[in-house]
Structure 1
């Protein structure tokens, strides 16, 4: 996963307020606005206890309640620096727990995890309930969305909504297919899900451009789509659970191949830190351990991280802070233009939850 969406955040200097807040409005809560405000008051107290300045707290408060138009269960990640909003992102699911932190580096790992697996996809729902014949009366309705899962749940992708007379469907399906291919190409979709009436969707699939047709999976039971949420959301959640994006899977396969032959890889916190210091990491692999006690020391620049404070001081670095390991690692990944892959433990358990695929090996080493 490329973390370019975090680059604007890391161009700013801390300290940062990092807030993760459940802002769900799913109908299960009698007064969701009051519930959100109550959660925020608790987090505001936590920020004050950590020494956050008044302007930073005010900046966060200005965002609370700003996503009232997003239905269903979701959350918000808010980052401020020096009293100004630094980054605001909708979360496709509520945070595991509401948290607030004030410190030198932003706490971005929970946000990164919510962006995973980051699968580009196209969902198409073909609505038709009439007679299976082109001389029937009625219309075929096409709903489609090109998006990035799971973010599309709260940040809609490009949508298509058309109604076409049944008599024109055989010809029009080819035009619809070419339009869908254009939307799919813009985000390089890796899979296309087509649901709906078997006859009508079959005509569409057969007339899709070859590049798109080879990525099609037909599905049943797409369910109704809630306004403001992802098209076929419940169906996609079932299909994507436990799945990695193809790009991340290729990086993980490359890591496993290098590990098998003792090549361009490293595993464990200390070796990973060493490689990040030298800017040699192509991809960092992490098991998500929000409860991990592992800590690192960090300086002002992304590559300035170490297991011991003395190491950074020996380089003449004076501004040093102790951070959660994943917080410091995430900044180093962004700053060195590496990629980060969140690896489910059932997929691969890494030593200390960390591994790296290197850009190259050191020719001086055997």
Structure 2
């Protein structure tokens, strides 16, 4: 998964406030606004106890709960830099627990994990309930959405909504197919999910451009979705559960191939940190629950990361401090333009939960 969406945040200087908060407004909560305010009050106290200034706390307070137009269960990730709002991202699922942190690095790893698996897709629902004949009276309505899963749960992608007389459906389906191809090409779609009336959707699928037909999966179920939620969200949840994006899968396959021949790969935290120091990491792989130490040592630059303070001091780095391991790794990945791939442990176990695919082979990393 490419982490370029975090580059604007890391271009700013700290200190940073990082807040993850459940901002769900579903039917199970009697007074969601009061619940959000109560949770924020607790996190505000945490920020204050960690030294957050008034500006940082005010900037977060003005943003928390601002996603009133997003229905259902979800959350928010809010980051400030030097007391100003630096990044706001909606979370497709509530955080495992509400957290707040104030320090020299932003706490971005939970946000990165929520972006996974980052599958680019196209969802299409064909609304039709009439007679299966182009001589019938009525209309066929096509809804489509191009986006990246799971973020489209809370940040809908580009939508298409067309209504066509049944008599024109055979001809119009080809035109809609070409329009869908344009949307798909823009985000390099991996999967096309089509639902709705079997007869009407069948005509559309047969008239899709060849570049899309091989990616089609048809599913049952209704296409109605709440405003602000993904089209075919339930069906997408089932299809993409535990799936890796094709781009990430290709990186993992390359890592496994290099590992098999003792090439440009390494496993374990020490090897990963050493490779990040040298800017040689193309992609870092993390199991669901990697066995990371609580802290790593860092310097002012992203690649200045180490397991021990003495290692950085040896290179003449004067400003050395301890940071949370996941925060230090995230900064190093973004700063060196490496990618991150979340690998389910049942898919592939990695030593200490960490592996790296190197940009080029290096004898120093071979075992």
Partner in structure 1 of residue 267 of structure 2: 267
Question: Which runs of structure 2 are paired with 1:117-266 in the superposition (5 Å)?
Answer: 117-266=117-266
RMSD of aligned Cα (Å) = 1.4
Aligned-partner Cα distance in 1 for 2:292–2:365: 32
Aligned-partner Cα distance in 2 for 1:50–1:6: 24
Aligned-partner Cα distance in 2 for 1:313–1:209: 59
SS in 2 for 1:297: strand
TM-score, normalised relative to structure 1:
0.97
- Residue segments in structure 2 that go unaligned for 5+ positions in a row: none
Partner in structure 2 of residue 303 of structure 1: 303
TM-score, normalised relative to structure 2:
0.97
Deviation per residue, 1:144-171 (Å, 9 max, x gap): 0000000000001000111110000000
Preserved contact between residue 113 and residue 288 of structure 1 (Cα < 8 Å): no
Work out the number of aligned pairs and report it.
366
SS in 1 for 2:297: strand
Preserved contact between residue 59 and residue 85 of structure 1 (Cα < 8 Å): yes
Preserved contact between residue 271 and residue 365 of structure 2 (Cα < 8 Å): no
Deviation per residue, 1:302-350 (Å, 9 max, x gap): 0000000111122222222212222111111111111110111111121
Preserved contact between residue 222 and residue 235 of structure 1 (Cα < 8 Å): no
SS in 1 for 2:296: strand
Preserved contact between residue 290 and residue 354 of structure 2 (Cα < 8 Å): no
Preserved contact between residue 222 and residue 234 of structure 1 (Cα < 8 Å): no
Deviation per residue, 1:222-266 (Å, 9 max, x gap): 453111100000110011001000000000011111111111101
Aligned-partner Cα distance in 2 for 1:257–1:148: 28
Deviation per residue, 1:84-120 (Å, 9 max, x gap): 1111111011000000011111110000000000000
Deviation per residue, 1:252-285 (Å, 9 max, x gap): 0111111111111010000001111111111000
SS in 2 for 1:24: coil
Give the deviation of 1:56 after TM superposition: 0.8
